[in-house]
Amino acid sequence: MAADTLPDIVPDTEHRGLVAALPPTLRNYALLARFDRPIGWWLLFWPCAWGVLLAGGEARWDLVLWLLAGAIAMRGAGCVYNDVVDADLDRQVARTASRPVASGAVSKKAAWAWLLLLCLIGLVVLLQLRWQAQLVALGSIAPVAAYPFMKRITWWPQAWLGLVFSWGALVGWTELRDDNWMVLAALYAGSIAWVIGYDTIYALQDREDDALVGIRSSARAMGAHVRGGVSIFYAFAVALWGLAFWLLRPDWLSLVALAPAAAHLAWQVLTLDTDDGANPLARFRSNRFAGLLVALACWVVGNA
C-alpha cells in the first residue's frame, strides 16, 4: 500500500501523515489494529472511565490510565480477530477490501501472532486489577469472540457490540466497589443503547455494499427510519444514565450534569444526513466528545 494512496484506500483513516510515515510492513500492522483510527479505542475506553468516576474514583488516575492502555490494546486485538474472521466478507465490501488481511498484505498466521502480542499487553493491564475485576474482565472474552458472527445471524449486531464495548463500565466499577449494583446496571444498559445508536450511524456508510453481500445491520433494519431509530436509542441512553445518577444520588441537580451530553446527542440526530457518507462518519466520530461529556457528568455525580 503506497503512502500516497493511503487516504483513498482507507477513507476513514485519521492521522494519515503519521500512518503514512511508517515503513510499509509496520503500517500494515498498525492498520490491522486500527491504530490509524483512535476513535475506536476512545469509544471502548469511555465506559471504563464512567465506571471508575461514578464509583467515586476521582483520585484513581493510575487506574484510568491502565484502563486506557487496556482499551487501546484490546480494541486492536479485537480488530485483528474480526479481520481474520471476516476476511472473505471484507473483500466484497469497497470500504474494507483494502484491509491488510483481506488484501493479503498480512497473512492470517502473522495476524494471529500480532493478536497474541496485543493480548499479552492486555494481560499486563489485567494483572493491575483486583481479582473481582479480573473475573469481570475475563467474562468479556466469549462475547468478543462471538461478535464477528453476529452480522451473519442477526439484524442487530450493533446490540451485541453494545454488550462488548460497554463492558469496561463493569470492570471500572467492580475494581472500586462491591455495592449499588442497580446503579451499575443502569449505567451499563445506557452505554449499550448509546453504542447501538452510534454504530448504526457508522453502518450507514456500508448499507449498499452490505445489502449486496448479505451483511445485516441495524442501519439496514431501520431502513428509512434511521434518524428516528437512532434518536430512540440515544433517548434510552440518556434516560438510563439519568436513572443511574438518581439511584446513586437522588437529587434533581444530579440530572443536570447530563444536559451537555444529551444536547450533543440531539445535535447528532438533528444534523444527520443519511445520504452523505462523510456526514455519518463525522457524527460517529463526535461520540469521542460525547463520551467525555458523560465522563464529566459521572465525575460530578460520583464524587460530589
pLDDT in tens, 51-89: 999 999 999 999 999 999 999 999 999 999 989 988 887
* pTM of the shown model: 0.89
- Tell me the pLDDT tens digit for each residue of 106-135: 999 999 999 999 999 999 999 999 999 999
Residue 143 pLDDT exceeds 90:
yes
* Whole-angstrom distance, CA of residue 255 vs CA of residue 252: 5
State residue 208's pLDDT score.
65
Average pLDDT over residues 174-186: 96
- CA angle, residues 198, 201, 202, in degrees to nearest 5: 90
Buried-state track 108-143, b at ≥16 Cβ within 10 A, e below 16: eebbeebbeebbebbeebbebbeeebbebbeebeee
* Whole-angstrom distance, CA of residue 101 vs CA of residue 88: 9
* Whole-angstrom distance, CA of residue 160 vs CA of residue 9: 28
Amino acid at 77: A
State residue 25's pLDDT score.
83
* R_g (Cα) of the chain, nearest Å: 19
